[in-house]
């Protein structure tokens, strides 16, 4: 949920999600349509489908040794689950952690994971780091530097992502015909909608 979505927006949605499906088995047994509806507004809706599929696999087969075998789970997510859920000695390397490590040149162990994530998110910012309040500033070779933005995120307004989101919202609300054909086809490929006899609906 936190992927490219701000924490204040995620927290109430996460809490509501956990009330609905507090365990892997509960999520695995949920209807796909309910999972997709619960995710709407967080963006990147295919993450909901992948999470649902991953829960179904874990419920039926148990946790795999290699978590990247689960739908939608890459190296970072696998490392984060291993560290924060299973307590294993691994350091998840997200954007914030990588930034702190690259700028400081420091070597950090798994026990530093949460601190590094917080430091990168709140202090060692992408463009203008807050070096005056950084606990690592004294020994940091990058202290006082400013940075150009790496890339500009494409605008949501008028984008294909917006068209997909609107089309999914319409299907979720019961509209099944006269929809954006290109967006609908994309949603269908991602498993977010089904089209039968020319009518669109959420998967069962």
Q: What is the dihedral of CA 22, 26, 32, 38, to 10 degrees?
A: -20
Angle of the 95-104 helix axis to the 113-122 helix axis, nearest 10: 90
Q: Do domains 7-73 and 74-153 have the same CATH topology?
A: no
Q: Which fold has domain 7-73?
A: Endonuclease III; domain 1 (1.10.340)
- In tens digits, what is the pLDDT along the chain, a chain of 204 residues? 887 788 889 999 999 999 999 999 999 999 999 999 999 888 889 999 999 999 999 999 999 999 999 999 999 999 999 999 999 999 999 999 999 999 999 999 999 999 999 999 999 999 999 999 999 999 999 999 999 877 666 777 888 988 999 999 999 998 888 899 999 999 999 999 999 888 999 998
Contacts (Cβ under 8 Å, ≥6 apart) of 78: 66, 67, 68
pLDDT of residue 153: 64
Distance, in Å, from the CA atom of 143 to the CA atom of 134, rounded to the nearest integer, reads 9
**pLDDT tens, position by position, 76-130:** 999 999 999 999 999 999 999 999 999 999 999 999 999 999 999 999 999 999 9
Q: Which fold has domain 74-153?
A: Endonuclease Iii, domain 2 (1.10.1670)
pTM of the model: 0.78
Going from N- to C-terminal start, the domains of the chain cover 7-73, 74-153, 160-201
For residue 101, what are the CA distances in angstroms to 88, 132, 176? Answer: 20, 18, 49
């Amino acid at each position: 949920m936190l992927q490219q979505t701000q924490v204040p927006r995620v927290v109430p949605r996460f809490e509501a999600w956990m009330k609905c499906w507090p365990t892997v088995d509960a999520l695995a047994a949920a209807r796909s349509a309910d999972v997709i509806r619960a995710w709407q507004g967080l963006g990147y809706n295919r993450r909901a489908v992948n999470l649902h599929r991953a829960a179904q696999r874990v419920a039926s087969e148990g946790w795999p040794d290699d978590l990247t075998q689960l739908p939608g789970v890459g190296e970072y997510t696998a490392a984060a689950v291993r560290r924060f859920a299973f307590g294993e000695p691994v350091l998840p390397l997200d954007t914030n952690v990588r930034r702190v490590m690259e700028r400081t040149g420091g070597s950090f162990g798994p026990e530093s994971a949460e601190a590094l994530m917080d430091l990168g998110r709140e202090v060692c910012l992408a463009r203008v780091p807050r070096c005056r309040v950084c606990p690592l500033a004294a020994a940091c070779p990058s202290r006082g530097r400013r940075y150009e933005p790496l890339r500009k995120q494409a605008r949501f307004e008028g984008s294909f992502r917006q068209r997909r989101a609107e089309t999914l919202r319409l299907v979720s609300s019961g509209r099944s015909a006269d929809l954006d054909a290109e967006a609908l086809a994309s949603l269908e490929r991602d498993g977010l909608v089904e089209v039968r006899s020319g009518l669109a609906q959420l998967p069962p």
